């Protein structure tokens, strides 16, 4: 009833305010609140959160604060000559008597950077800076809390916290040649791994990756701002080019020497045609497990090696696919059974039956149980309750656009959905409240903090017990909900699907003007990403672009977004059908979407535009050129123009090697269709883009000029793939540019 009343008020008052770009990018008018830095305490009965002022401890039973664990500006800090800089992250030692804190983060690439690190002694209430020898990367406490390990200048170190004495594990690190303890650019970007070392559970050994990237070719970017622009060179392996040679090594901290592991050397893996080590972890104090993949990424194995018997290698898992094998989202070792029957098994997610599901294997490599099954995808394994032998996970079982929370036994039985439910009065049937659910579990899984949102509702944070019972609402973002609904009337994202001429059903959403009338004709802006496995049509809170789209709707445009063939949430076959022919089906679907829109009574078929970023910029460009009879305009931000120019792990995963699949690389390159440009085209790129190089747009500009085509082009000097700065001014400028172009050209 309250929601209905709010809706009525919203209709009456929505005309009072219009969204501005300043609201979105500089004033942060629509920023959602959250619960940040959630860490479960070892007792499983308390958790901590982090704010600008410190770290606070809360009770899971009540959701109430019980103590301030660490105050960054507390009385103990007033004695210091220099105040602490703002803290950005924290990690407890195993006994929770020390806290590792980080500050002063300086980015290197998209997911990595260097920081200063401090140790806070909970009892003594003292802050100690770990090192004055320069900022560090990936500083990590040993499990026993007595030591840390970190990377500096491509070398790996460990330090005894009692003496603060640094010990070099490696000394051969060198920029653009040798990397120890972290990963090279392409592993970071495409395998999502930067932590290239791990402590053993007994704190006596460290396993780490060593990259020899000396034979990887360099990419050069000029950085503007000085009298003579500086060259920035880094190793970037493009499709078909040499990769780093990677080894997995083990260092004995107590003996202060490396352990020779013949099965892990680069030579051993090269002889077996293995190219990549995308993951590794300790299964126990002496057993190291690791994944290896071939160059084409269609064969993946997991093996274990005993550090005390280095020639003893055990195969734990083997998976092959005619297209490619995804690196598992979940891969961990768990204890099953109780008492004397307790033993380790390996928990892993895989698409081997056509959909991503959860599997259990024993440590001899035999399948124990496929825990989940069905024509739907598991998203994430969130909690493992060893005591009660239960798994908590999210999946798209209800619909590909929605994510629900479930619990299931290790044996695959007693599955239960933990979504909110509503009672249907007419037939007294419980119905699940759908949207997007996520959760952070306590140690032992007695409690969890849940996040819930929909496309039209900002996140709500709630505390629950293991059975789903609500304990407390921690943050409901009610003020933001009221602001955007009542003051701006912006919740108008609606989900449906359409069927292409080839019989493929595709999901989409629309955002329409406030006074939308089916009998009127509206211009339509299509937003597309379309890359393999990606989903944009999701019933979840959308952030900044969500409000930009509503701002465009206020100006009379309909915003339309769809997920075409090759996108995620609908199983491996749907996702992998674009393998070897990237761009063709995706472009066909974009053109089909435009043609379908042109048949709707409410669409002005002569005013359909398309825009996208990165893969979406590639697809928007290709669609404008190939579909020049249906698209009036396109905007492309930081687009790939030729897959030969992009990194090899991503591109070869979906296209194979250039020498084996030249047509797959070239047939759908926008560079080959520049002469087809008829509509209005805006091309945008940052010159400091280390991901999709400015080279892509520079070559497209040349092709268009040679074809005698007119277009608009904007560069952002030194800006990376995100075209962003901390003030928001760069993003404001970018969206002012795009808004103006849409208003003029669509």
Active site (catalytic) residues: 614, 689, 721
Element (H, E) at 221: strand 218-223
Q: Where are the beta strands (DSSP E) in 321-377?
A: 331-336, 343-350, 357-362, 367-370
d(CA 573, CA 433): 29
* 220 dihedral zone (left: phi>0; alpha: psi -120 to 50; beta): beta
Contact 565, 576 (CB under 8 A): no
- 12: which 2 tokens? 């009456």
d(CA 746, CA 738): 11
Q: What is the largest CA-CA distance in the chain?
A: 79
Element (H, E) at 440: strand 436-441
Instruction: Return the ∠ at Cα 581 (arms to 497 and 297), rounded to 5°.
Output: 105
Match 């039956």 to its residue by tokens: 353
d(CA 282, CA 557): 54
307-315: list long-range contacts, CB under 8 Å, 24+ apart: 307/200, 307/205, 307/250, 307/259, 307/261, 310/259, 310/260, 310/261, 310/262, 310/263, 311/262, 311/263, 313/263, 314/363, 314/364, 314/365, 315/365
Beta carbons within 10 angstroms of residue 16's beta carbon: 10
Cα dihedral 260, 261, 262, 265 sign: negative
Contact 433, 457 (CB under 8 A): no
662 CB-side CA count, 13 A:
1
230 CB-side CA count, 13 A:
7
How far, in whole angstroms, is CA 378 from its chain's centroid?
A: 16
d(CA 467, CA 691): 44
Which 3 state secondary structure label does DSSP give 75? helix
Contact 714, 684 (CB under 8 A): yes
Full strand arrangement of the beta sheet holding 558-563: 493-499, 505-511, 558-563, 522-527, 603-613, 633-637, 680-686, 712-716
DSSP 8-state assignment for residue 226: S
């Amino acid at each position: 009833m309250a929601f209905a009343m709010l809706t009525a008020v919203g209709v009456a008052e929505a005309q009072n305010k219009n969204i501005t770009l300043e609201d979105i990018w500089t004033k942060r008018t629509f920023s959602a609140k959250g619960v940040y830095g959630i860490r479960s305490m070892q007792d499983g009965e308390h958790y901590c959160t982090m704010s600008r002022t410190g770290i606070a401890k809360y009770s899971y039973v009540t959701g109430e604060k019980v103590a301030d664990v660490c105050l960054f500006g507390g009385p103990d800090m007033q004695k210091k000559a220099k105040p602490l800089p703002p803290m950005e992250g924290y990690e407890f030692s195993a006994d929770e008597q020390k806290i590792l804190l980080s500050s002063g983060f300086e980015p290197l690439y998209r997911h990595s950077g260097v920081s200063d690190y401090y140790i806070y002694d909970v009892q003594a209430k003292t802050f100690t800076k770990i090192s004055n020898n320069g900022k560090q990367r990936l500083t990590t406490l040993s499990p026993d809390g007595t030591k840390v390990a970190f990377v500096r200048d491509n070398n790996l170190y460990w330090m005894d916290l009692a003496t603060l004495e640094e010990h070099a594990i490696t000394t051969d690190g060198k920029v653009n040649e040798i990397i120890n303890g972290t990963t090279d650019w392409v592993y970071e970007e495409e395998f999502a791994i930067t932590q290239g070392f791990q402590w053993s559970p007994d704190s006596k050994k460290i396993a780490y990756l060593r990259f020899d990237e000396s034979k990887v070719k360099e990419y050069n970017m000029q950085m503007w701002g000085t009298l003579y622009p500086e060259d920035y060179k880094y190793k970037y392996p493009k499709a078909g080019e040499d990769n780093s040679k990677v080894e997995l090594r083990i260092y004995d901290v107590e003996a202060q020497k490396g352990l020779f592991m013949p099965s892990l050397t680069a030579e051993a893996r090269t002889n077996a045609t293995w190219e990549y080590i995308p993951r590794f972890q300790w299964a126990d104090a002496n057993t190291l497990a690791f994944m290896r993949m071939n160059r084409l990424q269609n064969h993946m194995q997991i093996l274990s090696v005993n550090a005390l018997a280095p020639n003893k290698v055990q195969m734990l898992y083997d998976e092959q696919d005619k297209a490619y094998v995804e690196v598992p989202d979940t891969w961990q070792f768990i204890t099953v059974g109780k008492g004397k029957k307790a033993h380790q098994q390996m928990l892993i997610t895989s698409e081997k039956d056509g959909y991503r599901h959860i599997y259990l294997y024993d440590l001899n490599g035999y399948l124990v149980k496929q825990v989940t099954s069905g024509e739907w995808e598991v998203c994430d394994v969130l909690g493992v309750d060893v005591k009660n032998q239960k798994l908590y996970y999210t999946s798209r079982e209800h619909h590909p656009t929605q994510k629900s929370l479930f619990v299931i036994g290790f044996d695959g039985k007693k599955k239960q959905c933990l979504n909110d439910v509503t009672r249907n009065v007419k037939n007294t049937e419980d119905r699940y409240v759908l949207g997007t659910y996520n959760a952070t579990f306590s140690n032992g899984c007695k409690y969890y903090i849940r996040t819930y949102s929909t496309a039209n509702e900002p996140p709500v944070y709630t505390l629950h017990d293991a059975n789903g019972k609500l304990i407390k609402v921690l943050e409901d973002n009610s003020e933001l909900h009221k602001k955007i609904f009542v003051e701006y009337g912006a919740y108008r994202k609606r989900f449906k699907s359409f069927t292409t001429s080839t019989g493929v059903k595709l999901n989409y959403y629309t955002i329409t003007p406030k006074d939308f009338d089916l009998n009127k004709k509206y211009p339509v802006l299509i937003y597309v990403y379309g890359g393999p496995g990606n989903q944009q049509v999701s019933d979840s809170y959308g952030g900044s672009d969500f409000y930009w789209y509503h701002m465009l709707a206020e100006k009379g445009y309909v915003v339309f977004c769809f997920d075409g063939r090759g996108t995620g949430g609908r199983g491996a076959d749907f996702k992998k059908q674009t393998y070897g022919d990237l761009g063709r089906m995706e472009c066909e679907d974009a053109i089909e979407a435009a043609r379908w829109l042109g048949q709707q009574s409410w669409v002005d078929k002569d005013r359909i535009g398309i825009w996208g970023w990165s893969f979406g910029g590639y697809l928007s460009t290709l669609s404008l050129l190939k579909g020049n009879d249906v698209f009036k305009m396109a905007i492309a931000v930081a687009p790939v123009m030729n897959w030969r120019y992009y990194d090899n792990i991503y591109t070869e995963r979906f296209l194979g090697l250039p020498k084996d699949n030249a047509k797959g690389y070239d047939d759908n390159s926008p560079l080959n269709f520049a002469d087809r440009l008829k509509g209005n085209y805006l091309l945008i790129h940052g010159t400091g883009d280390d991901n999709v190089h400015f080279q892509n747009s520079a070559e497209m500009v040349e092709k268009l000029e040679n074809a005698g085509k007119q277009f608009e082009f904007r560069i952002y000097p030194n800006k990376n793939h995100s075209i962003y700065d901390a003030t928001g001014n760069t993003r404001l400028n970018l969206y002012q540019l795009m808004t103006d172009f849409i208003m003029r050209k669509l």
